[in-house]
A and B are shown apart, each in its own frame.
Chain A
Amino acid sequence: MDCIYVPKDKLLTFKLSEDIDDNQTDKLRRKIDNEITRFLPRKTIFDFSNVTFMDSAGIGMLLGRYKLIKMLGGELAITNANKQVEKIFELSRNIKNNSNSGG
Chain B
Amino acid sequence: MLGIYDNEMKLEFASKSTNEAFARISVAAFASQLDPTIDELADIKTAVSEAVTNCIIHGYENTIGIVKIECKLKDNSIEIQISDTGKGIVDVEQAKKPLYTTKANLERSGMGFTIMESFMDEFKVESIPEIGTKITMKKYINKEKQEET
Contact = CB atoms under 8 A, between A and B. Distances in A.
A21 B39 CA distance: 18
Interface string B10-41: 00000001101100100000000000001100
The binding surface of chain B is classed by DSSP as helix
Contacts of A91: 111, 114-115, 118
What class of interface size applies to chain B in its complex with A? 20 to 34
A96 B114 CA distance: 12
B109 A21 contact: no
B120 interface: no
Given A56-B115, A99-B98, A92 B42 contact: no
A95 B98 CA distance: 7
Given A84-B42, A98-B98, A99-B98, A22 B109 contact: no
Interface of A: 19, 21-23, 25, 29, 53, 55-57, 59-61, 63-64, 83-84, 87-88, 91-92, 95, 98-99
Interface of B: 17-18, 20-21, 24, 38-39, 42, 45-46, 49-50, 53, 56-57, 98-99, 106-112, 114-115, 118-119
